[in-house]
Structure 1
Amino acid sequence: MKYSVQVHVMPLKELLDPQGKAVLGGLKNLGLGAVEDVRVGKHISLQVEAASEAEAKSLAEEASKKLLANPVMEFYEITVNAVNS
């Protein structure tokens, strides 16, 4: 079965996010001062062939731990949805 797997990778909340600070400064320069904080991350979309949703999630967990996220600086969340052929 085919699954659409979404991996959201964000910097750990305890760490400074220089890219987020730069975006926040740009928004303030554009007159959007109501924005108080910005965190910038990555969204990764995978198409996975797996026997079950659990297997698809397990594959995404392995990919995230080994390649997609740096656990020293980032955390990730995984969402899995079946794809209708």
Structure 2
Amino acid sequence: MFKARKYKDLIVLKPLLAAMTILEKSYHRQFSRILKDPVFCYDDRGEDILKTFAIKVELSGESTENILKIYYLKKHFPDISLFIQTNP
């Protein structure tokens, strides 16, 4: 975001993401008795995750987001063995 000079987006989205995380945790506590879902942790640094896959931090887009999603899916559900990505 810094290289693309999207400072306004960063100023707006960072607090919004923090607020959503707090709200999600509070709702998860309320519904965890019913859902019986474990609390997942998403606190690994994105830079470190992308470095594992030899992807530069400067790259952004759907592919980068998919790599992060796959990383956390494998972390939280280690039994997953196949991912299929389709394009329209």
TM-score normalised by the chain length of structure 2: 0.28
Give the number of the structure whose residues are more often helix, by fraction. 2
TM-score normalised by the chain length of structure 1: 0.29
